Structure 1
Amino acid sequence: MSKQTYRVCWCFRRRFKVRETEPPADIKELFCRYSENDIMTAEQLQRFMAEVQGDDKVTKEEAEAAVDATIKELKHLPIFHRRLLNLEAFFRYLMSDYNPPLPFPPKVMHDMDAPLAHYFIYTGHNSYLTGNQISSDCSVVPIIESLKRGVRVIELDMWPNSTKDDIDIVHGGTLTAPVKLNKCLEAIKTHAFVASEYPVILTLEDHLTPDLQAKVAKMVTETFGDVLYCSESEAMIDFPSPESLKKRIVVSTKPPKEYLDTAKSMKGNDEDSVKMKTASEDDPWGVEFSDTLEKPMPLDKDHKDEEFHYEEESVKHNLEPEYKQLIAIQAKKLKGGVKDWLHDDPTAAKRISLRETRLDKAIENHATDVIKFTQRNLLRVFPKGSRVDSSNYNPLIGWTHGAQMVAFNMQTHGRSLWLMQGMFRANGGCGYVKKPDFFLKNGPEDKIFDPKNTLPVKKTLKVKIYIGDGWHLDFKETHFDIYSPPDFYVKVGIAGVQADSVMKKTKILQDDWTPKWEEDFEFPLMVPELALLRVEVHEYDMTEKDDFGGQTCLPVFELRSGIRAVPLHDQKGDKYKSVKLLMRFDFV
């Protein structure tokens, strides 16, 4: 147990007084190097920010603003001069919100003028569900929450209501309670551009009669008005860019088809859909998947993905022209084998959807074909039907093969969703992340990127974990006992292509609210453009499962070098008010 003072409470329990955090040795040494007579000026801080932090474009005015903000927060410090830092203030600056690991303030940094197919897009699955896929309620609340978090693709399943004169949003053939389509559309209109100005794509799963399709067309056009994007031509050689679609709503679905009643549509839809399965992702810890990719599941030859089950029905009715005009991004049906699915029609860009198991099957022998397809066309990947608990899969399987729309259940939490949140912290959190250039190059087969190939190390990420702080301030949110200092350790590693993926951990520090690890780690990276830095804090428990202490996931390709204050998040991905790690990042 660390040496700390305590007092006796009325309940006779020891209440530990958290000791004042002492800066790590590296911080003291840097302060001495960049200060004079134990005082650091704004000019000296500017030099530190340029030489150590790699912020070579930082201005004197920005350094002065950082000093002013730090002094303002440390009111107990004697103010001997304006814009001067002592060691404590310098340390507090390093631990502050003004020194984050990603570009600050957050802003869009990627080229947004390329076609939509050149971006990873923050994508939801069954966006209206509040819980599991079988018996939870349908509501506008999860749609609103997703949009507030920056999700750019919202999925709605449209079915006739019980009287067949209106449209419900519901997971068909289940016990889920429906919500009206008009409520969902209004919620989307209100919240679509709260977190990002870039386009919101509505993927509509359509189980409607032609007359209800006409009703949908009227509701959508009246709700969104000029915000709705309608393509001038039925076929586009390339999709528009996110920049050209700013503050626009884009509809993507299949062309109108023959109506099938619920019983026929759901019959044999998914052999796993009625099996309640407890997936490990439902556990707060999720599953570890960094060592290997998920093993593909065998598919019965007659088994169809739910989306394709509807797509392969023939069109016999007269099509409603108003409804058809809504569809800016057409979802195409699958025919034949993998090569046929991935055929690139040079006259028209398209979108196809693959269940996660179908993607696994496709990339076994056709990985480069998948990547070539995604150079112009959109590939959506969605969870297999047996994930009735609304768990998720490893999104990197899709991303490392160029899939733009890796569709996730946003209402659950676990490591898969943490990776999703981490990826889309990039590019200012706008919901669109430009794919690496190697996905977009044409060339001979042996030149097309394949994530399974062994490549030379492009760069090495060096990580040092100094200290953690803030749990004693957020103990109500983190659920630790204020009377019992935790035994913390950190897990840190990479999620990316299989060769880069690894996890390591620090030593356990006992009875310490402000643990000081000062441990170094190195991560050689073959494909840093797809790497995500995973950080998790746990409290060791000898008798039970280790307790959760916070997590974050950061895109390596936007990580700022130098000493940074890394804010930690809870299991849902919400940022704690005070909990942070002080870490150093260097690329060699």
Structure 2
Amino acid sequence: MSWTIVSILLLKPFERPLQRKDARLSYDGFLAYLLSPDGDIFNKKHHSVYQDMNQPLSNYFINSSHNTYLVQDQLVGASSIQGYLSSLRDGCRCVEIDCWDGPQNEPIVYHGKTLTSRITFRNVIRAINQEAFVISKFPVVLSLENHCSFEQQKTMARHLKNILGKRLLTTTLDGDVPHQLPSPSDLRERFLIKGKRVGSIKDDIRKYKSSMKGGTRVEKEEKQSQGASHKLQTVPEELSNLVVYMKSIHFNDLASAQAEQKCYMMSSLNESKAKKVSTAGGANFVSYTRSNIVRIYPLQTRIDSSNYNPVDLWNYGCQMVALNFQTAGIPMDLNRGFFRNNGRCGYVLKPSFMTDGHCKFSPDQPTFSGRKGVELGIKIISAQNIQFSRGDIVVRAEVHGVPDDNYTSETIPMENKCYNPTWNEVLYFTIRVPELAILRLAVEGRAFIIGRTLLGQVTLPFTSVKSGFRHAHLLDKDGSPILGSTLFLYIWYHSRMDLEQ
């Protein structure tokens, strides 16, 4: 096939019918191409699920929310069903539900011992069931912060089973004790409960198999032993049995966790403890997260529902790095940009060096066999439709990654003539671990009195960045597109690594 025919086929979608006279591309057609997904900075192949989804859950970063019911701060803010709906629409796959005793034996959800408003547990589960698999078909984890009495926990279990039905996982997929976690594909359109569990999965499976064979003697022995310890039991069997692959276990120290925890046990650590463990543990903490899921959450002292930098803990393989989705800022930009990858399905496969047991990777010492860094150049050419007339405009480029890959560089301030400033300025970066790097480009207005104002940003994993002349379509602080606002760039990088371009 000749180049002329190929050109016509490739360029045809970008031309108006009257302009398709030959293989040449008109000015309007060229502009249409540059502004299309083919000319976008984000690799359009990554808009779909393209990663292997058949590996154990522990091999994936999982988009996770903290205090999902809140739409404002955690002291006096409102609790709302909308928090769950918007988070799930944002690609979240792990939502948090704080459960407390409510009137008429109906559990309620709110931030305990505060002035936040209340919503019913039943309505929360109904909303989650309605929205859970609209954006993504991969599993949703319900992280229960359970503060309810024995009887109201039974009500919780009843609502979970009645509302979620067959999509609620109530036993292991193969009926045996798991030696590794199932994959996202294995658990498509299934709900998993994370919470406290009484007894072992092994005992419950033995009891289940015995009951299927009519083992009445075993059942009587089980009931007798349960009756003797019933007063000491804090979680009723009805709710306990719904916890299958995500049994909550207290984290004492890394050595004990590595020695004692099974793959279906997981711990939750606040950001402060997680950073201490990760810094001290290094490669050992990365090794621990190969088989065990770890959930990280913000400190309670963040009464304004602010967030920490999630990249610091993704670097150690922590799967569920939970953020306050209602709070705009750089941490949420990073979270949305990171999980924009792989079709926004909420699951991003870890790099192979984080899942390979033979590789001793630590983000503090990222050099290991076969590593080659990347030299990145970004020419900031111009911006379009930037609505700011009170001062100058700058473009700030940030790289977030392992400690050696954290950079910030910006253009010189430029007067915003006709809302289309031009720089033609080049920014350079060296990235040692590109698989964990995230690029954020922010357009800011700079005025003498009001300081800096965010006018738009785009955030994406470095492995999704396309080289060449590209447009970056800008988003506002909440992650919504700003109509017509773009950055025009030329991007190149030199690497011996295959980044699946």
**TM-score per shorter chain, which class?**
0.7 to 0.9
1:357-380 deviation digits (Å, cap 9, x = unpaired): 101211232122211111111000
Q: Distance in 1 between matches of 2:161 and 2:53?
A: 26
Matched, 1:388 2:303: yes
- Aligned Cα RMSD in Å? 2.3
The alignment's TM-score, normalised by the length of structure 2, stands at: 0.85
Matched, 1:95 2:35: yes
Q: 1:71 maps to what in 2?
A: 15
Query: Which of the two has greater helix per residue?
Result: 2
Identity %: 29
**Bigger shift: 219-228 or 86-95?**
86-95
Asked if the contact 1:362/1:370 (under 8 Å) is kept, the reply is: yes
1:17-76 deviation digits (Å, cap 9, x = unpaired): xxxxxxxxxxxxxxxxxxxxxxx967337xxxxxxxxxxxxxx4xx24xx32x334xx9x
Q: Distance in 2 between matches of 1:176 and 1:561?
A: 47
| Matching residue within 463, 471, 487 for 2:378 | 463
- Counterparts of 1:194-213 in structure 2, within 5 Å, are 194-213=134-153
Matched, 1:250 2:188: no
Matched, 1:177 2:177: no
Q: Distance in 2 between matches of 1:238 and 1:100?
A: 39
| Matching residue within 72, 76, 83 for 1:135 | 76
Matched, 1:408 2:323: yes
1:300-354 deviation digits (Å, cap 9, x = unpaired): xxxxxxxxxxxxxx98127533212211233333264342234354x54321111
Q: Distance in 2 between matches of 1:194 and 1:83?
A: 41
Partner AA of 1:520 in structure 2: V
- Counterparts of 1:24-423 in structure 2, within 5 Å, are 43-44=6-7, 60=9, 63-64=10-11, 67-68=12-13, 70-72=14-16, 79=19, 81=21, 84-104=24-44, 106-162=47-103, 165-232=105-172, 235-255=177-197, 316-317=232-233, 320-334=236-250, 336-343=252-259, 345=261, 348-423=263-338
Instruction: Using the TM superposition, give the Cα deviation of residue 252 of structure 1 relative to its aligned residue in structure 2, in angstroms.
Output: 1.1
Q: 2:432 maps to what in 1?
A: 526
Instruction: Using the TM superposition, give the Cα deviation of residue 454 of structure 1 relative to its aligned residue in structure 2, in angstroms.
Output: 5.4
Partner AA of 1:397 in structure 2: D
Q: Distance in 1 between matches of 2:405 and 2:103?
A: 52
Instruction: Using the TM superposition, give the Cα deviation of residue 488 of structure 1 relative to its aligned residue in structure 2, in angstroms.
Output: 1.6
Partner AA of 2:155 in structure 1: K
Question: Which aligned segments of 4 or more residues in structure 1 are displaced greater than 4 angstroms?
Answer: none
Q: Distance in 2 between matches of 1:195 and 1:224?
A: 18
Does the C-alpha gap of structure 1 residues 159 and 201 become closer, same or farther in structure 2, counting only changes over 3 Å? same
Asked if the contact 2:181/2:263 (under 8 Å) is kept, the reply is: no
The alignment's TM-score, normalised by the length of structure 1, stands at: 0.73
Instruction: Using the TM superposition, give the Cα deviation of residue 574 of structure 1 relative to its aligned residue in structure 2, in angstroms.
Output: 1.0
Asked if the contact 2:7/2:23 (under 8 Å) is kept, the reply is: no
Count of equivalent residues: 455
Does the C-alpha gap of structure 1 residues 177 and 133 become closer, same or farther in structure 2, counting only changes over 3 Å? same
Instruction: Using the TM superposition, give the Cα deviation of residue 160 of structure 1 relative to its aligned residue in structure 2, in angstroms.
Output: 0.4
Instruction: Using the TM superposition, give the Cα deviation of residue 525 of structure 1 relative to its aligned residue in structure 2, in angstroms.
Output: 1.1
Q: Distance in 2 between matches of 1:358 and 1:491?
A: 32
Q: Distance in 2 between matches of 1:567 and 1:497?
A: 26
Q: 1:496 maps to what in 2?
A: 401
Q: 2:227 maps to what in 1?
A: none
User: Unpaired segments of 5 or more residues in structure 2?
Assistant: 200-229, 495-501
Q: Distance in 1 between matches of 2:353 and 2:231?
A: 39
SS in 1 for 2:39: coil
SS in 2 for 1:578: strand
Q: Distance in 1 between matches of 2:63 and 2:318?
A: 11
Asked if the contact 1:117/1:375 (under 8 Å) is kept, the reply is: yes
Q: Distance in 1 between matches of 2:28 and 2:272?
A: 54
Instruction: Using the TM superposition, give the Cα deviation of residue 235 of structure 1 relative to its aligned residue in structure 2, in angstroms.
Output: 4.6
1:451-506 deviation digits (Å, cap 9, x = unpaired): 111536522222222221133xxx5xxxx4xxx47622100121001101101011
User: Unpaired segments of 5 or more residues in structure 1?
Assistant: 1-39, 46-59, 258-313
Q: Distance in 2 between matches of 1:335 and 1:189?
A: 31
Q: Distance in 1 between matches of 2:102 and 2:277?
A: 37
Q: Distance in 2 between matches of 1:138 and 1:315?
A: 34
Does the C-alpha gap of structure 1 residues 367 and 79 become closer, same or farther in structure 2, counting only changes over 3 Å? same
Matched, 1:507 2:449: no
Q: Distance in 2 between matches of 1:315 and 1:526?
A: 56
Does the C-alpha gap of structure 1 residues 534 and 348 become closer, same or farther in structure 2, counting only changes over 3 Å? closer
Asked if the contact 2:297/2:321 (under 8 Å) is kept, the reply is: yes
SS in 2 for 1:411: coil
Does the C-alpha gap of structure 1 residues 84 and 227 become closer, same or farther in structure 2, counting only changes over 3 Å? farther
Q: Distance in 1 between matches of 2:412 and 2:4?
A: 37
Q: Distance in 1 between matches of 2:372 and 2:149?
A: 55
Asked if the contact 1:344/1:377 (under 8 Å) is kept, the reply is: no
Asked if the contact 1:202/1:250 (under 8 Å) is kept, the reply is: yes
Instruction: Using the TM superposition, give the Cα deviation of residue 544 of structure 1 relative to its aligned residue in structure 2, in angstroms.
Output: 2.6
Does the C-alpha gap of structure 1 residues 319 and 416 become closer, same or farther in structure 2, counting only changes over 3 Å? closer
Q: Distance in 2 between matches of 1:464 and 1:109?
A: 29
Q: Distance in 1 between matches of 2:6 and 2:253?
A: 65
Matched, 1:582 2:485: no
Asked if the contact 1:128/1:139 (under 8 Å) is kept, the reply is: yes
Q: Distance in 2 between matches of 1:321 and 1:187?
A: 25
Asked if the contact 1:255/1:330 (under 8 Å) is kept, the reply is: no
